[in-house]
Amino acid sequence: MQYLLLITMILVGGPAVGEAGVPQSAASQLEIAPVVLNLDPGQVSATIEVRNQGAAPVTIQARPYDWSQALDNDVLTPTSEIILSPPIFTVPANGVQTVRLMLRGDARSVADQERSYRLLLDEVPTAGAGSGQVQVTLRMSLPVFAGSAQPAPTLGWTAARSVDGDVVLTATNTGRGHVRVNDLQVTLADGSHPRLTAQGKSPYVLPGAGRRWVIEGSAVARDSPVSVRTTTQAGTSDVTLTF
């Protein structure tokens, strides 16, 4: 089972004796698995395992959100379509907590369209931090995809110049399931690979949504073709764009 290692720290405001300005720190370590939940059609429940490898107990609050995308950004809306049990829990030192996720009827009814959710797991601050300490708490966001047999990703690409003269590449997900863009490489007519600036931070493109990448306009000659190689969870594909 794949684990994601997460570390939270309490930083002490002043240096410890003999450390000459190096702050003393105490850290708790959490592992969460799986890092992505894919629920097949007909599957109505799944589990998440939270493992605490630290020396102190950690309290976590888990909350479900409906996940959509607009203008390259993720939009999270509280949802009642997912039940989490337990929603708040304490993982003892060197202990493990299993969290069960269950879909309500509304989430199960969509058979031909994948539903996208996010689970936010927030560490609840403890009362143990004393004067001069800054407590940094953990937040983890887990993707949940439900109601689809994970169809082959379908991305449609366009290229256009913005009013500033830059070249904007837009990928639109025209399929029924999510696409995770793991790598994107652009090759110009002269064989060079310009630097891309992603609009938005998520590697995912949800069904019906789009994501943009920008190439500085001076790097691309007008009427010059642009070759785009995309690597997703389904493999690598190539397309040549003109504009």
| Percent of residues, the chain, with pLDDT higher than 90 | 53
- In this prediction, residue 108 carries a pLDDT of 54
Whether 12 has a pLDDT exceeding 50, the answer reads no
Q: Which residue has the higher pLDDT, 153 or 206?
A: 206
- In this prediction, residue 77 carries a pLDDT of 98
DSSP 52-103: E-SSS-EEEEEEEEEEEEETTEEEEEE-SSEEEESSEEEEPTT-EEEEEEEE
Name the band, by pLDDT with cuts 50, 70 and 90, for residue 14.
very low
For residue 190, give every residue at least 6 positions away whose Cβ sits within 8 Å of its Cβ, in sequence order, or none: none
Whether 234 has a pLDDT exceeding 90, the answer reads no
Whether residue 188 contacts residue 169, with contact meaning beta carbons closer than 8 Å, is answered with: no
Q: Give the C-alpha separation, 214 to 241, whole Å.
A: 14
pTM over 0.75, yes/no: yes
Whether 45 has a pLDDT exceeding 50, the answer reads yes
Residues 131-168 pLDDT 10s: 556 566 788 999 999 986 666 678 999 999 888 888 99
CATH topology of domain 4-146: Immunoglobulin-like (2.60.40)
- In this prediction, residue 17 carries a pLDDT of 32
Whether 109 has a pLDDT exceeding 70, the answer reads no
Q: Which residue has the higher pLDDT, 67 or 71?
A: 67
Q: Give the C-alpha separation, 186 to 240, whole Å.
A: 10
* Sole residue written with tokens 């790097």: 219
Whether residue 107 contacts residue 146, with contact meaning beta carbons closer than 8 Å, is answered with: yes
Q: Give the C-alpha separation, 180 to 211, whole Å.
A: 11
Average pLDDT over residues 12-34: 50
- In this prediction, residue 27 carries a pLDDT of 44
Q: Which residue has the higher pLDDT, 212 or 16?
A: 212
Average pLDDT over residues 197-205: 91
Highest mean pLDDT among 5-9, 95-99, 112-116, 207-211 belongs to 95-99
Whether residue 115 contacts residue 37, with contact meaning beta carbons closer than 8 Å, is answered with: no
Identify residue 155 by its one-letter amino acid code: L
Whether 66 has a pLDDT exceeding 90, the answer reads yes
Identify residue 114 by its one-letter amino acid code: E
Q: Parse the chain into domains and list their residue ranges.
A: 4-146, 155-241
Whether 96 has a pLDDT exceeding 70, the answer reads yes
Question: Across the chain, what does the average pLDDT equal?
Answer: 82
Highest mean pLDDT among 6-15, 58-67, 126-135 belongs to 58-67
Closest CA to 95 of 54, 61, 124, 52: 52
CATH class of 155-241: mainly beta
Closest CA to 175 of 116, 228, 119: 116
Whether residue 84 contacts residue 63, with contact meaning beta carbons closer than 8 Å, is answered with: yes
Q: Which segments of the chain are extended strands (E)?
A: 4-15, 23-33, 37-39, 45-52, 58-70, 73-78, 82-85, 88-91, 96-103, 115-123, 133-135, 139-146, 155-161, 167-173, 179-188, 196-199, 204-205, 210-215, 226-232, 235-241
Q: Which of 68-77, 168-177, 182-191, 213-222 has the lowest mean pLDDT?
A: 213-222
Closest CA to 232 of 164, 133, 151, 113: 151
- Comparing 4-146 with 155-241, is the CATH topology the same? yes
Q: Give the C-alpha separation, 226 to 188, whole Å.
A: 5
Q: Give the C-alpha separation, 152 to 148, whole Å.
A: 11
